[in-house]
Structure 1
């Protein structure tokens, strides 16, 4: 593609395509690998994200759904739909917040904990396969470069 543009429009600087195009293709491969890893477990990436956010946070009383939505960058309505699905599947449970009777907290069930663990292992295996061509030093370098490139675009 770059060579073709070089012939078609030699004055056009298409060098960014070499990076961005490859990043987009790599992201597609990564998304497909993660989707394929989660599919046998009956989970979407959104479900996986909720389960492993709860697992990672390890809040003893549970986590406020608003905090889950914020960490997942989804609307509260989208989070409610995810939680409804996960409650129906017996993977998470809702309970009243003891400090605010108008609020609820969400926590993993034992089954949800087991599935979250299994799903994380499957996703990490898919990630490892995607990164297999890189040695540890290259992975660290790539992570640092991506962090630098993303920093001006992140809104936290």
Structure 2
């Protein structure tokens, strides 16, 4: 019996009038999230990055040549506020991983771009990140992983607002 099952058993004993079955899913996801985050952050730290910096570098790398985006666009791609984005960009710029310049399309706007060093760091970190995610997912069978992916995708589709494409 795992931790969540023990909690459910106690609630069933104390409050038999309440359906505690949702805890079986929500409680386990809640316990799983920090465990996964901790293991993912180990890889980021090996590359001198925090989770936020890794997200920014990945968003720039996914943009394709010339590997740049406006700060507001970066905030959308990483789901953080523009204030938090500014702090992340400041740290990455101090580390020589990104540069900021005025937009050629809009002189008032700014553009953040990966440097050569930034691209090397994100490529190495992303390769290690995928290897790490694979090792975490390999704790499940291929069939279990496929079922979980399908279920989570369906649930997210119903809960999350549609992404702008």
Counterpart of 1:124 (choices 116, 121, 130) is 130
Cα offsets for 1:40-80 (capped at 9, x unmatched)? 22111100000011001114272111100111111212111
Counterparts in 2 of 1:124-143, with a 5 A limit?
A: 124-143=130-149
CA contact (8 A) 1:55 1:108 kept: yes
Structure 1 segments unaligned to the other structure (5+ residues): none
Q: Which residue of 1 aligns with 2:105?
A: 99
Q: Which residue of 2 aligns with 1:45?
A: 51
Counterparts in 2 of 1:7-26, with a 5 A limit?
A: 7-26=13-32
Name the CA distance, whole Å, in 1 between partners of 2:142 and 2:62.
24
Name the CA distance, whole Å, in 1 between partners of 2:138 and 2:118.
30
Q: Which residue of 2 aligns with 1:80?
A: 86
Structure 2 segments unaligned to the other structure (5+ residues): 1-6
TM-score (norm 2): 0.87
Q: Which residue of 2 aligns with 1:36?
A: 42
RCO greater where, 1 or 2, for CA within 8 Å and sep 6 or more? 1
Number of aligned residue pairs: 156
Q: Which residue of 2 aligns with 1:90?
A: 96
Superposition RMSD in Å: 1.5
3-state DSSP of counterpart to 2:129: helix
